[in-house]
Amino acid sequence: MKQATIDLFTQIFSVLAPPPNLTISEWADKYRYLSQESSAQPGKWNTAKTPYLREIMDAITDDETKKVVFMSAAQLGKTDGPILNSIGYYMYCDPCPIMVLQPTIQMAETFSKDRLAPMLRDTPILRDKINDKSRNSGNTILQKIFPGGHVTMVGANSASSLASRPIRILLADEIDRYSETAGKEGDPLLLASKRITTFWNKKEVYTSTPTIKGLSRIEVEYIHSTQEEWNVPCPECGEYQPMEWAQVIFDKENLEEICYACSKCGVVLSEPTWKEQYINGKFVAKFPNRKVRGFHLNALSSLLTEWKDIVQKFLTANEEKKKGNIHLLKVWTNTEMGQTWEEEGEQLEQDDLYKRREKYNCEVPEEVICLTAGIDTQDDRFEIEVVGWGVDKESWGIKYQVIYGDLKLPEIWNELDTFLSQTFTRADGAKLKIICACMDSGGHFTNQVYKFCKARTARRVYAIKGKGGMEVPYVKKPTKSNRAKTPLFIIGVDTGKSLLYQCLAITEEGPNYCHFPKEKDRGYTQEYFKGLTAEKMVLTYKQGRAQHIWMLKDSGYKRNEPLDIRNYATAALEIANPVLKKPDKTDVTGSPIKKRGRRSRSGGVI
């Protein structure tokens, strides 16, 4: 028999041979190498350095398990463990068609270049599986063909890449970052999962850091799984328990000594003492009889992450929260704790805001740098609010005005123009004008609003149109696709309401804090605050997808104009984008004048 024939049969039998009796973690420990480009510790893979990954990876090769879900903090090996090691295992031990689903096509290309290619290069048993050098190999950046199968990388935002492609192994990475729909074809995760229905030995692996509670894909998948938490034995009593943030003990003045209290016996021990037990850790299931294996993990369980870093990030995020910036705390909750963030501030009480009104004793407080306005158009009136803005977007309500009249007649439009043209006097004698105003163009007088705004574009009086949906940007670039050819701004009103409610919830004067005047002639009545707090954010479902929407708290109360108008005045600030920085002042000798202390709520000086 000729050698070529022998080689051919050898190759055929190698494909038909039963898979080696290895789990994914055993394969990785035996064959996998970490690359310098993608690992802080390149070289031979060692599961003992990430012991929590062993059970997750081995669940994928369990004959009884068809689906594995991994919800975790960031940088805990989601991609290297369940994704890349699975690719290597199936390429070597059980060749078959594999799909790697990334949030976008661009991210799929990045994954191929920065993660997959280095693994194939640096892991010797995989190096010759794919021939990228041959022009006839059929290999591209997004598809790697090997004997018995292929690895295809696709983006969740591309319907065409998900269609008509039978696969056996679906590896879906960072699923919380997927778009709601792939083009017009529907949910990308559902489309991808349909490609594996013809295989009896199919596998699905979903991984992600979670995002917003109620909107998180990975949370939904985890809730319907075995819900397994990583547990570690107490060094003292031996009782297994999950590593929870509530048990971390630290002094923010000395982060060199961080301890953890056992939730069972109460003993307080150091970080190194607890981490010595991680090698004995295990996952404990809340619903062990469910078919889908689901795993949850936070950064406290990592041998590669120091608790000091986690605590420091928490302290920084907490300080920012006090200033009204909750973004860092959201990120910390998602990426360090591996938990969804539950939105706060969906609802405010009118009495709390009404009671904190203060006397200005001037038309415009000295801290105000500029003025903007929001205008709501009704059939029988205009409602306008003038808002003053200071450093770090601290705001002062200046005037809430209602102008009644017949909008079909020019007199009321002239009265509106007079109001917007007026000059306001600041406490230090400076004269301020409204630098930008946003006017609602909805309703029955759209063309009149366009005409009014076009004639005042030089004064930055702009027509706006509100658009709902939390995914809509707050302010988009203007268009002139209207009859009057005037600049029209599309405002993401739901996004704006969320930002406004976060500011209204701040109770300490400073960045983003909202001041309101007590003087009776300014229009800040109980009715105003009832309208300002008239809505709440609720979770609902549309076409099977969870989404947050804004709705009236009281279905019998329809007056939410103050909320909309403050939203428009804030959008006007974003459009004008002024420098919110107080200029240094000097006296007649040229020496700096000491800054006046901030007024306290009681009227004193701080």
Mean pLDDT over the full length of the chain: 87
Q: Report how far Cα 222 is from the mean position of its chain's Cα atoms.
A: 19
- SS3 assignment, position 175: helix
What HEC string does 552-580 produce? Answer: ECCCCCCCCHHHHHHHHHHHHHHHHCCCC
* pLDDT classification of 442: cutoffs 50, 70, 90: confident
370-377 and 434-440 beta bridge pairing: parallel
Residue recorded with tokens 């076409």: 543
* CATH 3.40.50.300 domain residues, the chain: 21-232+281-305
- Give the CATH architecture of domain 350-576: 2-Layer Sandwich (3.30)
pLDDT digits over 480-505, tens only? 988 889 999 999 998 899 889 889 98
In angstroms, what CA-CA distances link 66 with 63, 139, 202, 206, 527? 8, 29, 6, 11, 58
Q: Of 514, 459, 457, which Cα lies nearest the Cα of 480?
A: 457
pLDDT at 462 over 60: yes
Greatest mean pLDDT among 17-21, 181-185, 381-385 lies in 381-385
0.95 exceeded by pTM? no
To the nearest 10°, the Cα dihedral for 73, 77, 78, 83?
180
Secondary element (H or E) of residue 29? helix 24-31
pLDDT digits over 3-31, tens only? 666 666 566 555 555 556 899 999 999 99
424-425 and 282-285 beta bridge pairing: unpaired
pLDDT: which is higher, 159 or 442: 442
- SS3 assignment, position 100: strand
514-515 and 395-404 beta bridge pairing: parallel
> At the topology level of CATH, where does 21-232+281-305 sit?
Rossmann fold (3.40.50)
Share of the chain above pLDDT 90, in %: 65
Instruction: Dump strand ranges (E) for 304-391.
Output: 370-377, 381-389
pLDDT digits over 511-567, tens only? 999 999 999 899 999 999 999 988 887 766 555 455 677 888 775 666 889 999 999
Inter-residue contact 157 to 179 (CB < 8 Å): yes
Alpha carbons 70 and 175: distance in angstroms, whole number = 10
pLDDT digits over 565-599, tens only? 999 999 999 999 999 987 655 333 333 434 333 33
Count of other CB atoms within 10 angstroms of residue 19: 13
In angstroms, what CA-CA distances link 488 with 387, 442, 478, 576, 594? 21, 12, 5, 14, 44
